[in-house]
Chain A
Amino acid sequence: MAEAAGVRTERPGRGPAGAPADPTGPGDRGAEPWRWVTGLRAYGLIVAMWVRSAMAYRVSFVLTALGNFSVTALDFVAILLMFAHVDALGGYTLPEIAFLYGTSGVAFGLADLALGSMDRLGRRVRDGTLDTMLVRPAPMLAQVAADRFALRRVGRVAQGLLVLIWALAALDVDWTPVKLVLLPVMLLSGGVIFTAVFVAGGAFQFWAQDASQVQNSFTYGGATLLQYPPTVFARDLVRGVTFVVPLAFVNWLPALHILGREDPLGLPGWVDFLPPVVALVCCALAGLVWRAGLRSYRSTGS
């Protein structure tokens, strides 16, 4: 309680410092680069606010972060239990699957941390609170993305990272400079690809307000899918997540390159290095979908 009071007394002091950001907001619509800066700035400010509010209840924060850590850890426990019975799954050993699991977990965790509250958009459309956001002097996407930012989601990133580190220690990878660069590039691009899926899923809710669950199929479902090697799945499914929803670029293709494995679709080798390009294209498409969604938004009026 004392901490909560502390935050409150702090607020008047910080308020004026944040205020000058506003005039640079929506006014100058022509200057494209500035919109990025104001957007990121608004995102940062809203995120900082939610972090401070979460820190008012420190015990609750630690517990929920641990909870987030454990939720995903159980998935890995299930994989360990499988390996109590077999030596390989789909032709992949436990460290190899742990590598896939870790890379998928970190990439998805980063996106989930950055804008995991996107599924609340549908609720905001339904109860009309989205209108409040529309009149605020900050880009809509930044506001929705930072809405109820939950720092506790670092638990998920941490869990993925731990498994990844264990996998790297257990694996006998033939490291080359290219592979060393590919690993962080893959994690970041993967995060960006999932981010684009979140944004597209959010935009979809402008049309189908109650359908936030559909988004979960591609985000949570996608992250689960990528924990397992592509050889486990039917070829058509692998084609689908390569060419339609390009989740295969999050980790499958680059990870198979690092592990020195053939990809089951037999794509040319240079495809393994495409994740950053795919990530950019995904962002552009998600941006278009987002704009179309926002434009078609009609307030419920209630």
Chain B
Amino acid sequence: MRLYAAVAVSTFRRYTTYRVATAAGVFTNTVFGFILAYTYIALWEQREGLGGYDLPEALTYVWMGQALLMTMAMMGGGFEDELIERIRTGDVAVDLYRPADLQLWWLASDLGRAAFHILGRGVLPMLAGALAFELAVPRDPLVWAATLGAVLLGVVVSFAIRYLVVLSAFWLLDGQGVSQIVALAGMFFSGMLLPLTVFPGLLGTVAQALPWASALQIPADVFLGKYPGAELAGAYAFQGGWALALLAAGRALQSVATRKVVVQGG
């Protein structure tokens, strides 16, 4: 356990090195937040209460999206490139020999990265949004704590999906195509472009049942107080269920993959 904590801490520290890149990223998140916020204002002025949100809630949703975009690594940019490269070059054979579990190792690393991104890339855009627009920020500290729990579970689900993507490199060697498709699905079905509650009819129902809902829709709804009291357990159960199922799928696929692994090179 101490090993995995150390992995998480060192990944966190590794990300803190890139200060200029972080500042640039905050700027970009803020710009996109503003653009989206204005389109949402236009939309919600026409249809007050769309998707069950009033305007301040919809705007809070926008800035939650910008705050969580990097934390959930929705467009990629987490550990994937590094591990795919290790699989391609055969370095993964060394990893498999280590007295540590491959999946847990990278989960710990990804949690460290997410912790950095929520502090480094999440707080400032949210603050900028709160200064420029009227947001529905909860006053109850318990809601903040509950949101943190939902974010944590969301990161685990996001990790589990991306871990499956990475494992595809054992067969394809080049994970780019699969990564791109999954990143697309992630952007769309997490509710990054538009809240899933606004999706019409069957599309909305399906989108809210898919694992990607854990990445933004559920944390944002918890933040907005849409899961009061015992209902929070239901939201956590949804996220936790997907996390366990996808992590288990990752383990199963990993055991198949490592059985066929042939290390290249001489």
Contacts and interface: CB of A to CB of B under 8 A. Distances in A.
Given A74-B187, A74-B188, A232-B38, A217 B31 contact: yes
Contact of A210 (B18, B47, B176, B199): B18
Contact of A82 (B24, B34, B194): B194
Give the secondary structure class of B's interface. Answer: helix
B89 to A, nearest CB: 18
A17 interface: no
B198 A75 contact: no
Interface string B40-80: 01110011001000000000000000000000000000000
B200 interface: yes
A144 to B, nearest CB: 19
Interface in B93-139: none
Contacts of A75: 193
A234 B38 contact: yes
Contact of B28 (A77, A208, A214, A234): A214
B177 interface: yes
Interface string B159-183: 0000000000000001011001100
A197 to B, nearest CB: 13
Give the secondary structure class of A's interface. Answer: helix
A213 B27 contact: yes
Interface stretch (A62-70, A164-172, A283-291): A62-70
A86 B51 CA distance: 13
A24 interface: no
A78 B18 contact: no
Interface residues of A, number: 36
Contacts of B148: none
B181 A67 contact: yes
A146 interface: no
A86 B38 contact: no
Contact of B184 (A67, A86, A212): A67
B98 to A, nearest CB: 28
B42 A212 contact: no
A18 interface: no
Contact of A208 (B20, B174, B200): B20
Contacts of A210: 18-21, 24
Given A63-B177, A86-B47, A74 B24 contact: no
B39 interface: yes
A75 B174 CA distance: 27
B20 A211 contact: yes
B250 to A, nearest CB: 24
Contacts of A82: 39, 43, 194, 198
Interface stretch (A127-135, A220-228, A253-261): A220-228
A242 interface: no
A85 B201 CA distance: 12
Contacts of B188: 74, 77
Contacts of B50: 85
Interface string B189-232: 00001100011100000000000000000000000000000000
Interface string A216-250: 11000100110010011110010000000000000
B184 A74 contact: yes
Contacts of A212: 24
Contacts of B177: 60, 63-64, 67
Contact of A89 (B28, B35, B46, B176): B46
Nearest to B177: A63
A269 interface: no
A90 interface: yes
Interface of A: 60, 63-64, 67, 70-71, 74-75, 77-78, 81-82, 84-86, 88-90, 208-214, 216-217, 221, 224-225, 228, 231-234, 237
Given A74-B193, A86-B47, A89-B42, 20 more contacts: A60-B176, A64-B177, A67-B181, A71-B180, A82-B39, A82-B43, A85-B43, A89-B39, A89-B43, A89-B46, A209-B20, A210-B20, A210-B24, A211-B21, A212-B24, A216-B28, A217-B27, A217-B31, A224-B35, A228-B39
24 contacts: A60-B174, A63-B177, A67-B177, A67-B184, A70-B184, A74-B193, A75-B193, A81-B200, A84-B200, A85-B50, A85-B198, A85-B200, A86-B43, A86-B46, A90-B42, A209-B20, A210-B21, A211-B21, A213-B25, A213-B27, A213-B28, A217-B31, A228-B35, A234-B38
